[in-house]
Structure 1
Amino acid sequence: MPPAAASPAALEEAEAAYEAQVWRDLPRNYAAHLVHGLLGQTGFRLVHAPTFVPAYIYLLSGSEIAVGLALAAQYLGAALSSVFGATLIEHRKRVLPVGFVTGALMRLQVLGLALSGLFLSSDYALAAATLFLGLFGFFNGMQAVMFNYLLSKVIPVARRGRLTGLRNFLAGITASAVAYFGGSYFVETNALGNGYSATFLVAFAMTSAGLLMLLFVREPEPPVVRSQSKFASRLKELPAMLKADPAYTKFFLARALSALGTIAVPFYVLYAGQRIGLSGYIVGILSIAFLLTQTATNLAWGALADRTGNRLVFIASLGLWVASTLLLIGAEGIWLVSIAFGGLGAGFGGWQIASQNLVLEFGAREDLPMRIAVSNSATWAMMAAGPAFGGVLASSGTFESVFAVAMACQAAALLLVLFFVDEPRRRRG
């Protein structure tokens, strides 16, 4: 916090100096974030894409329920740690040191996922994969809060959309290439004795290199930060924070509801496997379709966000996601299924950009870490519940029933934002 005796004029002067530093260091920080995102997003997309991990878990278990539970463990870990991550940084003027630690721990889980597949039998590898995915999610929950807050500090709001879009665009190109080789060569030829593990080793190497790029970031120190608070006391303050901005609260609900729509994500590739087979070649082709279109549209989503705001991107991407799911249900043959996966990638990518960036535009800066954490916790809690429920629903019913629940949640979220959430940038004129 600033000194108690600080005058409004002194505080205003400190804010002006802070803003001046942000713009002065923008080229350096922009470049560092871009390269960090290129390498980090490339690697993590191999873990997050709805192809490699679900197919790997299914290979180990032969069970849709196991696929759902493994993915649920990942998102449950993230939901549990987000608010804790916010309490670690909201009183600090510099968050990068803590971010490096959580980022390194997150990447070690990807290494564990790879090595367990190489050295353990199927049953033990399945248990280890579930454990490492849970820990991956736990540290991801903290890292997401820290790095999104860092992004809000060093990149002005009018430049974030293009940076996010360009970063995801470049990462998607390299991720598509790595996904193709991962499916067509690593998985198809069972490289190193386990093609999926070989792919995860590549993911670990790329994300580790990306983390080092943040050494070049110059992080400004804001004039005002919150006083350090205990975890329990901050939890008690959350209802008041939500009530303070009704539009943010409705967006918070819409984001959580749309995240429940990810109930279907782990089962896209399994559904496609029922229709056209699930060889390493097919996994590679569908990964390319998902990642490449997610890549190609990121620039457009980012430019649209900077021009009109992230609210419109949130609405449009959910509409595309629903339409692509409908196409997948009726698709026959590799080409139509690939087109459907492309639409899913584009919609999912736009939803990610809008969800992450829109939350940065509500409320005061000193409350931003907690606002990010609360939004992320709700999102990941829904993404944890979704795959577990989806696994049960898929094993006892059909994949189409899972997709129907997902589309209903996404459509409800779209309507909630369309009619009840204003564009927060207009509040600043």
Structure 2
Amino acid sequence: MLSLLAPPRRYRWNYSAMGLDISLFVLALSFASSYGLLPLFVSHLSDSNLAVGAIPALRAATLLPPIFVAGLTERLRRKQPFVLGVTVFERVPYLIMAVATPLLALSHPTALLWLFYALLAITTFSAGVAMPAWLDLIARMIPADWRGRFFGLSSALGGLLGVAGSAGAAALLARFDWVVGIALCFAIAFVCLTLSFICLVFAREPVEADNPARPREGTAWRQLPAIVRRDQNLRRYLAALLLVTAASPTAAFYIVDAKGALGLSDGTAGLYATVLLASATAGNLLWGSLGDRIGHKRVVVAGALCTGLAPLLALMVRDPRWGPLGYGVVFLLAGLATSALQLTALTFIIDLAPAAQRPTYVGLANAAQAPCALGAPLLGAALADARGYPALFALTALLALAGAFLVARAVHDPRAAGGEVARAEVV
């Protein structure tokens, strides 16, 4: 049984340390969910859909930095010190929000809202800067045939903890007024992020042999158009990512729509975050194992399908008599979609990339999504204001299902023939 859950002995220390880093990070975000607590927080400070839409738009800022730091990351002999230094700025904003919320929420709500946006931008920008180095670190620490299970099991453990965490967050919101409840959630999130940081410190970075082929920054930038032109498989995958990414931010509007359409309280609406985390936890176990066995491309397709089915169902569950149960299924699908797409964002791009160019491919994949990830939430908010949530949900379902079809029919899985097969179709 141990052989199914843990890799060979020489990998187990890092498997555990980095796995706990991820698990505790997921637990932290269960207290400050982009689909639960953060939209509720913003809805208390502003009644604008645009204000809610700014949350996934700012979260998408994490997609921009990787392409700018890819060259630097490839030249770093050691990645861990860089990751540790940058990720401090990813975690401290939660402490600041825990202190600022009770001080400003009632007396200066607009100032608090802008402070929140600024801190959210800092944490997501820092995550984006650290991402290529962190993912390359994982790729060097964990063997290829264990990465799906590594990400799946560690995210699943985080999800199990997060189910309790999101239930705790809902209980805090139900017991205290919204100011105190949300401030406590931010504080607990920071504590969990601190524990996650300690695990990252204790990981052991493997020594890398000298690589004389590391490009200069300018050289790396000049190579990007050539990589995209040469790698047909990458082009198709990036096109599909654009479609799915354009649909994904809709999930931030589900909880606001459910609360308004079904007349739910903050505490009741907050329970949907528990459903989302529970389904994401189950999804991490399922997708990680399936990805290692049948290829991560199929997990991409499954995640895109769930992304498209969730808004279709949201169109049909607006009756207060049975809508609360139906919306639970919406969040179940959203959790499965989130876990699938987050897992494959870390695994499938590694499968596609040559080992020496992993940071560059990660940067390209993130940069390609950035325009849609940044613009879609704001355009979606404008569409919701003008035409209502049903119009938004119908459009995003169409985009996600089109993305699923493109991946299924046009993207080649490099591992389809078994092992490390040829990378991509080259034209």
- What TM-score does the superposition give when structure 1 sets the normalisation length? 0.89
1:35–1:210 contact (8 Å) kept in structure 2: yes
Q: Measure the CA separation in 2 of the matches of 1:119 and 1:291.
A: 30
Q: CA RMSD in A?
A: 2.0
8 A Cα contact 1:72 1:383, kept in partner: yes
Q: In the TM superposition, what are the counterparts of 1:54-93 in structure 2 within 5 Å?
A: 54-76=39-61, 78-93=62-77
The reply to whether residue 340 of structure 1 matches residue 340 of structure 2 is no
Instruction: Provide the identity percentage.
Output: 23
Determine if contact 1:181/1:284 at 8 Å carries over to the other structure: no
Q: CA deviation at 1:196?
A: 1.5
What is the CA-CA distance between 1:247 and the residue it aligns to? 0.6
State whether residues 295 and 416 of structure 2, in contact with CA within 8 Å, keep that contact through their aligned partners in structure 1.
no
Match of 1:115 in 2: 99
1:86-131 deviation per Cα after TM superposition (whole angstroms, max 9, x unaligned): 2332111210000001111110122233333222221110010111
For 2:123 and 2:372, how far apart are their aligned partners in 1?
17
Distance 1:405 1:92, change over 3 A: same
Shift of 1:202: 1.0
Which of 135, 144, 162 aligns to 1:157? It is 144
Q: Which residue of 1 aligns with 2:87?
A: 103
Distance 2:31 2:125 in 1: 18
* Kept in 2: contact 1:90–1:225 (CA 8 A): no
Which letter does structure 2 place at the counterpart of 1:250? R
| Structure 1 pair 276–75 and aligned structure 2 pair: CA distance change class (3 A) | same
3-state SS, counterpart of residue 223 of structure 1: coil
Cα contact 1:113–1:133 (8 A) shared by 2: no
- 1:328 positional shift: 2.2
Among 239, 243, 248, the residue aligned to 1:262: 248
SS at 2:166's partner residue?
helix
> Partner of 1:137 in structure 2?
124
Name the CA shift for 1:23/1:256 in 2 (closer, same or farther; >3 Å). Answer: farther
Match of 1:244 in 2: 230
Change (3 A) 1:188 1:279: farther
- Aligned mates of 1:363, 1:319 — CA distance in 2: 24
| 2:289 maps to 1:299 | no
Matching residue within 261, 265, 273 for 1:287: 273
Distance 1:224 1:363, change over 3 A: farther
Cα distance, 1:298 vs. partner? 1.2
Residue number among 338, 347, 351 corresponding to 2:341 in the alignment:
351
Instruction: Report the equivalent of 1:52.
Output: 37
Between the aligned partners of 1:56 and 1:149, the Cα distance in structure 2 is 35
Instruction: Tell me which amino acid in the other structure corresponds to 2:151.
Output: T
Equivalent pair of 2:75/2:214 in contact (CA under 8 Å): yes
TM-score by length of 2: 0.90
What CA distance in whole angstroms lies between the structure 1 residues aligned with 2:205 and 2:262?
50
1:213 Cα shift? 0.5
Q: After TM superposition, give the deviation of residue 357 of structure 1 in Å.
A: 0.8
- Residues of 2 paired with 1:187 and 1:307: CA distance? 43
- 2:75 aligned partner, one-letter code: H
**Residue type of the partner of 1:292?**
A
1:145 to partner: Cα distance = 1.8
Of 194, 218, 232, 1:208 maps to: 194
Structure 1 residue ranges without an equivalent (≥5): 1-21
Give the stretch that moved more between structures: 155-164 or 24-33: 24-33
Secondary structure of residue in 1 paired with 2:101: helix
Does the residue aligned with 1:222 lie in a helix, a strand or coil?
coil
Cα drift, residue 233 of structure 1: 4.4
* C-alpha distance in 1 between matches for 2:203 and 2:242: 32
For residue 176 of structure 1, the aligned residue among 158, 163, 166 is: 163
- Which residue does 2:303 correspond to in 1? 317
> 1:7 aligns to what?
none
For 2:330, the aligned partner's letter is: A
262-271 or 96-105, larger mean C-alpha shift: 262-271
Distance 2:51 2:212 in 1: 42
Mapped contact 1:96–1:219 kept (Cα < 8 A)? yes
More deviation, 79-88/128-137: 79-88
Answer whether contact 2:56 2:249 (CA < 8 A) is retained: no
1:396 and 1:187 mapped to 2: Cα distance?
A: 32
The CA deviation at 1:42 is 1.3
SS in 1 for 2:32: helix
Measure, in 2, the Cα distance between the counterparts of 1:74 and 1:270: 18
Post-superposition offset of 1:49: 3.6
Question: What letter corresponds to residue 76 of structure 2 in structure 1?
Answer: R
- 1:221 is aligned, of 187, 207, 211, to 207
Q: Which moved more, 1:225-234 or 1:209-218?
A: 225-234
Give, in angstroms, the shift of residue 187 of structure 1: 5.4
**1:276 Cα shift?**
2.0
Which digits, 9 at most, give the CA deviation of each residue in 1:346-387, with x for residues without a partner? 122112112221000123211111111121222243221111
Give every structure 1 segment of 4 or more consecutive aligned residues whose post-TM-superposition deviation is greater than 6 Å.
Answer: none
Aligned counterparts of 1:325 and 1:26: Cα–Cα separation in 2: 41
Query: How many aligned residue pairs are there?
Result: 406
Residues 208 and 256 (structure 1 numbering): CA distance in 2 closer, same or farther, change over 3 Å?
A: farther
Distance 1:112 1:229, change over 3 A: farther
More displaced stretch, 311-320 vs 40-49:
40-49
